[in-house]
Amino acid sequence: MLAVGVDVGGTKIAAGLVDERGSVLGCVRVSTPDSPAATVDAIAAAVRELGAGEVPVGVGVAGFVATDRSTVALAPNLGWRGEPFGERLAGGLGTRVWVENDANAAAWAETRFGAAAGRDAVVCVTVGTGVGGGIVMDRQVWRGAFGMAGEIGHLQVVEAGRECRCGQRGCLEQYASGSALVAAAREMIAAGGPDSAGLRTACGDRAEALTGPVVTQLAASGDPAAVRLIGEVGRWLGVGLAGLAAVLDPECFVIGGGVLDAGELLLGPARSSFAARLPAGDHRPHAPVLAAVLGNEAGLVGAADLARLALLGESG
């Protein structure tokens, strides 16, 4: 049976009709409105436009989702707190709705249909503006007792380190994300060394105009400073992966998100630092660190599949 998957981002909403093999049959994209109520209306309109009828709807949201799979406890980028989001959307649409953390949904999609297809124990890390994560154990999304597991971006890697939006300090997201990459590039420009010439040219001497994709493209073209900056993000990512392997011992890691456009410039240093940091690393298999393959669609494909399996009682 078909299902609808929705990915609610800070600026855009994507809704897609997805079949049981994870193929997207049609997609509608709209801007994300300011308020949760308007967002519910925008999603309902997008789902109707897909013309899917009364099929299950899965929604991936960047935030902490409560165990009822409806309430968004906190979505900092959207400004939502304690929103009974799924219930409202179900009321508006007259169909059943499953709300999932967006990184959990992406992890599920990569495990069912993507880079980790056929594997049972998978940890996915999304390295974008922030760092998201999803854990699949025994072919189930591991959500934790309170629904909020897998917040890999908030793994503390530096005691009393950089401040994080979650209220803590030293979280992985502050070192291994697109935002951290841009901050480090701006620091390099401010320091004014000769190695920052490529970065300065790329942003027209306006450090504030620098973005993650600009640094990534510069690295891909071989600029040594940009390569070093991406490598540093990769190195921190490897530190996080080693900690995760110590606790979860997954079969593989899947790395996705915008910074993955840097490819091996990110993954190479991540693998080296993972190998160097892995506890008892000389005496155990090393889980491969793989590139995600589903790209931007992973979130909506995973949300649709989870909704179909959970709400129709089909097995994965």
The smaller minimum CB distance to Zn ion, of residues 4 and 125, is found at 125
Applying CB under 5 A, the span of 14-22, 100-108, 168-176, 307-315 interacting with Zn ion comes to 168-176
Site of tokens 């897609």: 16
When binding is defined by CB under 5 A, the residue of 171, 203, 215, 237 that contacts Zn ion is: 171
Rounded Cα gap, residues 34 and 78, in angstroms:
8
Residue 147: partners with Cβ closer than 8 Å, 6 or more residues away: 64, 65, 66, 67, 69, 73
Closer CB to Zn ion, 237 or 300, in the complex = 237
Return the number of the residue (42 or 171) whose C-beta is nearest Zn ion: 171
DSSP SS3 for 30: strand
CB nearer to Zn ion: give 171 or 294: 171
> Which window, 28-36, 167-175, 191-199, 305-313, contacts Zn ion (CB under 5 A)?
167-175
Which positions from 240 through 279 interact with Zn ion, judged by CB under 5 A?
none
The region, left, alpha or beta by phi > 0 then psi within -120 to 50, assigned to residue 286 is beta
Name the one residue in this structure whose structure tokens are 């099929």: 55
Smallest separation, CB 121 to Zn ion (Å): 25
Pairing of strands 289-291, 3-8: unpaired
- Judged by CB under 5 A, the chain residues 139 through 158 that form the site for Zn ion are 154
- The piece of 56-64, 163-171, 231-239, 245-253 that touches Zn ion (CB under 5 A) is 163-171
DSSP conformation class of 196: G
Closer residue to Zn ion (CB): 35 or 168:
168
User: Least distance from C-beta 177 to Zn ion, angstroms?
Assistant: 11
164 contacts Zn ion (rule: CB under 5 A)? yes
Gap between the terminal Cα atoms of the chain: 13
Shortest distance in whole angstroms from residue 240 CB to Zn ion? 12
Q: Is 220 in the site for Zn ion (CB under 5 A)?
A: no
Q: Which lies closer to Zn ion via its Cβ, residue 62 or residue 171?
A: 171
Q: How far is the CB of 206 from Zn ion (least distance, A)?
A: 29
Is 164 exposed, middle or buried (CB count within 10 Å of its CB: 0-12, 13-18, 19+)?
A: middle
Q: Which is nearer to Zn ion, 171 or 239 (CB)?
A: 171
207 binds Zn ion (CB under 5 A): no
Say how many C-beta atoms besides its own lie within 10 A of residue 195's C-beta.
13
In the complex, what is the shortest distance from the CB of residue 149 to Zn ion, in angstroms, rounded to a whole number? 15
Kindly state the number of chain residues that form the binding site for Zn ion, as judged by CB under 5 A. 5
Does 166 participate in binding Zn ion (rule CB under 5 A)? yes
Q: Residues 112-136, buried b or exposed e (16+ Cβ, 10 A)?
A: bbbbbeebebbbbbbbbbbbbbbbb
> Would you report the helix, strand and coil content of the chain in percent, each value rounded to 5?
45, 20, 35
The C-alpha atoms of residue 136 and residue 150 are separated, in whole angstroms, by 9
Q: Which is nearer to Zn ion, 140 or 168 (CB)?
A: 168
Query: What is the closest distance, in whole angstroms, from the C-beta atom of residue 86 to Zn ion in the complex?
Result: 25
Least separation in angstroms between CB 173 and Zn ion: 6
Which amino acid would we find at residue 185? Answer: A
Q: Are 201 and 185 in contact (CB under 8 A)?
A: no
Least Å from the CB of residue 164 to Zn ion: 3
Residues that bind Zn ion (CB under 5 A): 154, 164, 166, 168, 171
